[in-house]
C-alpha cells in the first residue's frame, strides 16, 4: 500500500543555529517535508527583518531544496514599521512566547495589549500571529503546567475579537479545551497539532524526560480530542511538529538542581511517524489534509506554487521497523523521538 499526497508542510519547527543546524536542517527533507515554518527563538531571538533574512540564508546554504517560511519573535523591538518591512521582505509571521515557559523564552511577553499596534499592522499586511498558548505557572493562582493552556484561552478569544481579520495560529494545542476554543473562532484562527501530542499523555513523561516537552502532554481525554479533530478533518487544524532538538545528555540526565530540556525531536521521521499515528486511530484518510492541504490553505501556500522541492510525496506501508536511535555529524549527536520503537511507513524515494 502506498499513499501519494501534495507536498507536506511542517508549520512549526526549530532549526536552531550554528553547527547543530548542519545536522538538523537536512532532516527536514529526510522526514518528507520541503516547506517549514521556522521558529525565531534563537540566541539572541530573531527580532528584525535583517536577522530573519540572514538566518534564512544560513538555512538555505545548508539545504536549498527546502522553502523556509520565516518568523519574528514578538518583543518590544517589533514595531508596526518593522512589521511592514518584514512583510515586504517575505517574512510570514510573528511568534509570541509567554515569558519563561519554554526554551529561550526569557524575552517572552507579559501583556498582549501593548502589542495591539503591532497586531493592527500585521492584520493590515496579512502577517500571521503564532501564539504559544500557555500562561506562566503561578502556584499562588493554582496555575501549573497542566492547566497553563486552558488558562490561556481567554487571551486567544480577546486577540481574535480585537483583530478578527488577523490570521492567528494557536500553536501545538494539547487540550480538548483548546481544540474547542479554536473551533469556536472564525476562519482566521488556525491551530497546529504536533505528532508527539497525538502519541503521549501525562503518564508518558512522568519520570521519562525523553517524552518531556512544552506544552506537556495532557490527559487521555485531551489526546482523544486532538485525534478526533484530525479524524473529523477539520480544515483549520494542521501539522506543526514543534520538532525541537536538544543534545542527548540534556534530554537523558537531570541533576538534583538541573532539569532535563523540554522538547522532542521528530523532524527526521516526521511524515512516516504521522502516517503511523493517524493509522493507529483510523484517520489515514485525513493525512493529506492534516500534513499538507489544511495548513497550506491557511497560510496561502498552495503546493502548486512551491518554489523548491517536490510537488508530491509518496509513502508506503512496510513491515514495522525500528526508528534510528542516533544521528551524528562530527561531534553533533541527536536522538529522535520514538527511538527504538517501530514505525510501519516509509517515504518512497523518487526514481
Q: Which residues of this chain interact with a copy of itself, rule CB under 8 A?
A: 137, 139-147, 201-203, 205-210, 212, 216, 219-221, 223, 252-257, 259-262, 325, 335, 337-341
CB of 18 to a copy of itself, least distance (A): 23
Nearest residue (CB) to a copy of itself, 269 versus 287: 269
Ranges of H-type helices in 32-175? 49-62, 80-88, 116-125, 148-162
Nearer to a copy of itself, 207 or 330 (CB): 207
Complex with a copy of itself: residue 1 or 206, whichever CB lies closer: 206
Report the nearest approach of a copy of itself to the CB of residue 95 (Å): 22
Nearer to a copy of itself, 256 or 330 (CB): 256
Residue 134: HSE in the Cβ half-sphere, 13 Å Cα cutoff: 27
Closest approach of Cβ 340 to a copy of itself, in Å? 5
Nearer to a copy of itself, 122 or 277 (CB): 277
Q: Which long-range contacts (CB under 8 A, 24 or more apart) does 252-257 make?
A: 252/209, 252/210, 254/209
For residues 114 and 120, give the distance between their C-alpha atoms in angstroms, rounded to a whole number. Answer: 12
Q: Residue 328: which of 19, 98, 2 has the closest Cα?
A: 19
Q: Which residues have C-beta within 8 Å of that of residue 290, sequence separation ≥ 6?
A: 193, 230, 237, 238, 239, 274, 278, 283
Q: Kind and range of the H or E element at 223? A: helix 220-231
Rounded to a whole number of angstroms, the minimum distance from the CB of residue 215 to a copy of itself is: 10
Cell digits of residue 163: 483583530
The three-point CA angle 191-192-193 to 5° equals 125
The nearer residue to a copy of itself, 65 or 254, going by C-beta atoms, is 254
Distance of closest approach, residue 201 Cβ to a copy of itself, in angstroms: 6
**Judged by CB, which is closer to a copy of itself: 76, or 220?**
220
CB of 44 to a copy of itself, least distance (A): 24
In sequence order, what are the beta bridge partners of 169? 130, 190
- Distance, CA of 201 to CA of 193 (rounded, Å): 14
3-class secondary-structure state, position 340: coil
In the complex, the smallest distance separating the C-beta of residue 88 from a copy of itself, rounded to whole angstroms, is: 40
Amino acid at each position: 500500500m502506498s499513499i501519494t499526497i501534495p507536498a507536506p508542510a511542517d508549520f512549526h519547527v526549530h532549526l536552531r543555529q550554528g553547527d547543530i543546524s548542519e545536522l538538523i536542517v537536512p532532516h527536514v527533507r529526510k522526514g518528507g517535508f520541503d516547506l517549514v515554518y521556522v521558529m525565531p527563538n534563537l540566541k539572541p531571538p530573531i527580532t528584525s527583518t535583517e536577522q530573519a533574512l540572514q538566518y534564512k540564508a544560513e538555512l538555505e546554504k545548508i539545504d536549498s531544496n527546502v522553502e523556509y517560511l520565516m518568523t519574528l519573535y514578538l518583543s518590544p523591538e517589533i514595531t508596526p514599521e518593522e512589521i511592514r518591512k518584514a512583510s515586504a521582505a517575505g517574512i510570514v509571521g510573528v511568534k509570541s512566547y509567554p515569558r519563561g515557559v519554554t526554551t529561550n523564552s526569557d524575552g517572552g511577553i507579559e501583556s498582549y495589549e501593548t502589542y495591539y499596534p503591532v497586531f493592527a499592522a500585521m492584520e493590515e499586511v496579512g502577517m500571521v500571529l503564532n501564539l504559544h498558548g500557555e500562561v506562566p505557572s503561578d502556584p499562588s493562582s493554582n496555575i501549573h503546567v497542566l492547566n497553563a493552556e486552558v488558562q490561556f484561552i481567554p487571551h486567544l478569544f480577546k486577540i481574535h475579537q480585537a483583530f478578527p481579520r488577523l490570521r492567528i495560529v494557536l500553536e501545538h494545542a494539547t487540550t480538548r479545551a483548546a481544540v474547542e476554543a479554536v473551533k469556536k473562532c472564525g476562519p482566521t484562527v488556525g491551530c497546529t497539532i504536533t505528532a508527539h501530542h497525538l502519541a503521549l499523555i501525562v503518564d508518558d513523561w512522568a519520570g521519562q524526560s525523553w517524552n518531556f516537552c512544552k506544552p506537556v502532554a495532557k490527559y487521555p481525554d485531551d489526546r482523544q480530542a486532538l485525534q478526533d479533530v484530525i479524524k473529523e478533518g477539520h480544515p483549520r487544524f494542521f501539522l506543526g511538529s514543534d520538532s525541537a532538538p536538544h543534545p542527548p545528555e540534556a534530554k537523558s540526565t537531570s541533576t538534583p538542581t538541573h532539569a532535563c530540556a523540554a522538547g522532542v525531536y521528530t523532524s527526521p521521521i516526521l511524515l512516516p511517524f504521522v502516517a503511523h499515528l493517524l493509522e493507529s486511530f483510523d484517520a489515514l484518510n485525513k493525512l493529506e489534509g492534516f500534513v499538507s492541504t489544511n495548513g497550506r490553505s491557511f497560510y496561502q501556500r498552495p503546493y502548486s506554487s512551491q518554489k523548491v522541492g517536490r510537488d508530491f510525496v509518496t509513502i508506503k506501508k512496510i513491515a514495522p521497523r525500528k526508528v534510528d536511535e542516533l544521528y551524528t555529524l562530527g561531534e553533533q549527536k541527536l536522538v529522535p523521538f520514538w527511538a527504538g520503537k517501530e514505525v510501519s511507513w516509509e517515504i518512497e524515494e523518487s526514481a
